[in-house]
Homo-oligomer: A and B are copies of this chain.
Amino acid sequence: MLAQVVLQNPVGGACIGPDVAEWDAGRRLSALPMPGVRMTFARGEEIFGDGEPADHVYRVISGAVRTYRMLSDGRRLISDFHLVGDFFGLEMGQEHRIGAEAIGDTEVLAVRRSTLNRRAAEDCDLSSQVWRLTADSLERTREHALLLGRQGACERVCAFLLDLADRLDQPADLTLPMSRQDMADYLGLTIETVSRTLTQLQAWNWIALPAVRRIVFTDRAAMHRLCC
């Protein structure tokens, strides 16, 4: 079971060593067992902001997190969504280069960077794990860039839904953790275009939308054919 201590501020918090092995069964998750502090964030709450000191690395215990970059005029691109078991907030430099917010009510495990650095200096395997986190993130971001630069709205939405279903292990019947606005800001589209595209996919009988945040896949093959 996960530990009990819950603090809003990780600095000076008690260190716990939750059993994260259960998450690590999935292929995407690296082990990286580290003592950390549990924190809870309400829906929409900022976990860290762009430019803040990168004191901690985080792992999602429950809920979901969005990391994002913004332009000075308010345009936003969500860099990635972080689901249960995913890490985020790992930076090479001293400051975060992206912001992070809780999508719904969310629990995260916060690990001090100093702790991570100290251990990584001794443990070569851990050091490699840390590198792997960055490398995996780079690979995902490259794929994301390809989608943003060279794919149409329909392809973007299909690729997104398939990827999310895969990551959430809900291959037939997906419950979206995020709003249309979040989807749009991840896909480089507007909410209207996302909405219209979902309606279109429904008209083609590729998906069904029994509820706003519920996607039922009725022709996965067609979706896969389109976007890959």
Contact B97 A142 (CB under 8 A): yes
In the complex the two chains form, what is the Cα distance from A75 to B149 in whole Å? 10
Distance in angstroms from A101 CB to nearest chain B CB is 16
Q: Which residues of B contact A77 (CB under 8 A)?
A: 145-146, 149-150
B75 contacts A135, C-beta separation under 8 Å: no
A79 near B: Cβ within 8 Å? Answer: yes
CB neighbours of A72 from chain B (8 A) = 228
* Copies of this chain in its oligomeric complex: 2
Smallest CB gap from A79: residue in B: B142
Question: Which residues from B are CB-within-8-Å of A136?
Answer: 92
Residues 127-149 of chain A, each 1 if its beta carbon lies under 8 Å from chain B, else 0 = 10011101111110111111011
Question: Is B92 within 8 A of A146, CB to CB?
Answer: no
Chain B residues near A71: list those with CB within 8 A: 146, 150-151
In the bound complex, how far is the Cα of B127 from the Cα of A124, in angstroms? 9
Asked whether any CB of chain B lies closer than 8 Å to the CB of A173, the reply is no
Nearest B residue to A124, CB-CB: B121
A69 within 8 A of partner (CB) = yes
Contact A148 B151 (CB under 8 A): no
Q: Which residues of B contact A98 (CB under 8 A)?
A: 142
State A136–B127 Cα separation when bound (angstroms).
Answer: 17
Q: What chain B residues lie within 8 Å of A97 (beta carbons)? A: 139, 142
A146-176 CB mask vs B (1 if < 8 Å, else 0) is 1011110000000000000000000000000
Given contacts A77-B146, A138-B141, 4 further A-B contacts (CB under 8 A): A69-B142, A134-B135, A144-B145, A145-B148
